[in-house]
Amino acid sequence: MAEPFSMLTSRPMPLIRDNVDTDQIIPSREMKSTGKTGFADGLFAGWRYTAIGGRDPDPSFILNDPCYADSQIILGGANFGCGSSREHAVWALAEYGFRAVIAPSFAPIFAGNCVRNGILPAVLDADAIAIIEEVDCPITINLAAQKITIGKDQSWSFPIDDEAKAMLLEGLDAIDLSLKMAKDIAAWQTADRATRPWIYLGATQ
């Protein structure tokens, strides 16, 4: 299970680039772990460090700016998370500490991987994102209300489907979501076993 997502207040880190793909989020050379951890140092490695395979920070890249050291939100460009379907990209974002990405659009597989790992992919139009970037102060994301707010005066709504919202609010992955229906699944299996016993291994007629 992921950490439930309900309310988040953080200064967002602007990475306003269209078509940021999963190989830029986590290059394949950084995918050295067989689990879901061990990827934070490889996050944006091609932009974050001065040399391929090195670990000397490039001061010109936003992730190395001390002003955003504690940021849990990324402001992105259109088609964020495009490219290959590697879930490692989301694992790297989560392990580093990001809980939300706000962008005008997302690659569908990437958005689904975000939801399954406790990261909110919030769709907001480019004009609103530009305002948030310009203000450059903490914002609050209220998932239950589907609102992104600056202070008391500015707020924007964002869409999210009911299943994704429930998964994030409860910290569920796809398996957890299925297990919520365990009683219904067991009842169906019992009824099906009585109707079609021959398809079950070891069943006797």
- Shared domain for 42 and 115, answered yes or no, is yes
Q: In the prediction, which pLDDT does 205 show?
A: 52
Domain range for residue 13?
7-172
**Whether the Cβ atoms of residue 121 and residue 93 lie closer than 8 Å to each other:** no
- Shared domain for 166 and 188, answered yes or no, is no
Pairing of strands 147-150, 139-142: antiparallel
Low-confidence ranges of the chain (pLDDT < 50): none
- Shared domain for 13 and 40, answered yes or no, is yes
- Shared domain for 127 and 164, answered yes or no, is yes
Q: In the prediction, which pLDDT does 8 show?
A: 98
- Shared domain for 38 and 74, answered yes or no, is yes
Q: In the prediction, which pLDDT does 9 show?
A: 98
- Shared domain for 112 and 146, answered yes or no, is yes
In tens, the pLDDT along 89-116 reads: 999 999 999 999 999 999 999 999 999 9
